[in-house]
Structure 1
């Protein structure tokens, strides 16, 4: 079940749309609201609130996030937060855009070829989703376009410029990469959580299934599975993501080459992307 970062069922007063506008105002206002004379304690800022909320979500999950808990982490009263951010929904929107930065990292990696840039984006997304797993619970089917997310999108489009792809194809390429990385990261995170949530270790889980699987194999019902090498399932989640990404980019490289009339020769990929 996911939490929608922008959308909610609009009531008679169209609260969902009003909340969306509040989030956008906060994202594009420069990050600070004027502090009332009799307001929050000195040192409290919108950025500090957002960073504290991210830390809390990383430790306890998005479901545990509340304005009260964030205030407790900051050592202030809950009402102090409301002078900076109207509610939890808007706070989550700010958190999502914050973890999509900083923009400086994109600037440092400019000049890569299109494929190396896509690999850098995929690696960055993997790191984002696996170190901030709460973001996988946020419904971003209709993403809120804040400054960091827009800067990242512009960076990606810059790498695809001049390759002969239509606008829909450029967006489709980026969506395909994000879908692959998001799915791989979600599986990786869920696998890590499985032992803790079930109380059954990985060793206990597979050892318990072993006799059943072996008996099924002896019956000859699954010959292809039986023929798999022992290391067939040894790849890590990150290795599986990279394998899928390579095949995906091979396909897009063929498409790009055909548009350029290169008879299947892929464009130069440029230098290796930096590892994060």
Structure 2
């Protein structure tokens, strides 16, 4: 295949993201991305050093879309945190298969670093500092990452909930009842409800 005369900085990342969105993370390879770009694998190595660099480019490409501007300062701190968390969730949820890469490379992503800096500023002004602030930030990141994966891999509307509903009620009375209720819980209700519980804990 002929090699394009040149690639822009974003083209390898965009091509890799297209591969992941279509084929999942298991489908990501230098060869697959080169094919997506219409060039040889060796040609791609002229622009990207290796698979690890390709992964970092994907994470940067996805997370640069996060809005990291501080929410209005006159809003309660919990509402401001909710705004930031929802922004991160919406961005990551658009490409849920990239979540494992986000875990590995988030500390190198300018988008995540700026998002974290804004969140830490809100927490600090709310009086959450020192080790408590460390735990708060990690808890918020963990919540978003876990929630996106659950929504993508095991949604409440999926087969897992249906299977639990069908368990013998005599053996699992609480689990089967909860699963029946879960069928009517939307993804947004699940996410925002869990976030509200977390924020109440942080404010305690």
TM range (shorter): 0.7 to 0.9
- 1:80 and 1:189 map into 2 onto residues whose CA distance is 34
Q: 1:177 aligns to what?
A: 140
The structure with higher relative contact order (CA 8 Å, sep 6+) is 1
Structure 2 counterparts to residues 124-143 of structure 1, below 5 A: 124-138=87-101, 140=103, 143=106
Counterpart pick for 1:120 among 83, 95, 98? 83
Query: Which 10-residue stretch deviates more, 121-130 or 243-252?
Result: 121-130
Q: Which of 49, 57, 69 pairs up with 1:107? A: 69
Q: CA deviation at 1:94?
A: 1.8
SS in 2 for 1:140: helix
Residue 158, structure 1, aligned to residue 108, structure 2: no
Q: Which runs of 5+ in 1 are unaligned?
A: 1-39, 196-201, 255-276
Q: Whose Rg is larger? A: 1
Structure 2 unmatched runs, 5+: none
Matched with 2:19 is 56
> In the TM superposition, what whole-angstrom CA distance separates every residue of 1:188-239 from its partner, at most 9, and x where no partner exists?
11126x97xxxxxx49x948974xx4xx33xx55555676695354212332
State the shift of 1:148 in Å. Answer: 2.1
| CA positional deviation for 1:65 | 0.7
Deviations along 1:1-34, one digit per CA (max 9) or x if unpaired, are xxxxxxxxxxxxxxxxxxxxxxxxxxxxxxxxxx
Q: Aligned pair in 2 of structure 1 residues 208, 144: CA closer, same or farther (>3 Å)?
A: closer
Normalized against structure 2, the TM-score is what?
0.80
Maintained 8 Å contact 1:113/1:159: no
For residues 146 and 191 of structure 1, the distance between their equivalents in structure 2, rounded to whole angstroms, comes to 27
Confirm whether residue 240 of structure 1 aligns to residue 202 of structure 2.
no
Q: Distance in 1 between matches of 2:148 and 2:142?
A: 10
* In 1, Cα distance between equivalents of 2:106 and 2:126: 26
- State the shift of 1:43 in Å: 4.6
Q: Secondary structure at the match of 1:170?
A: helix
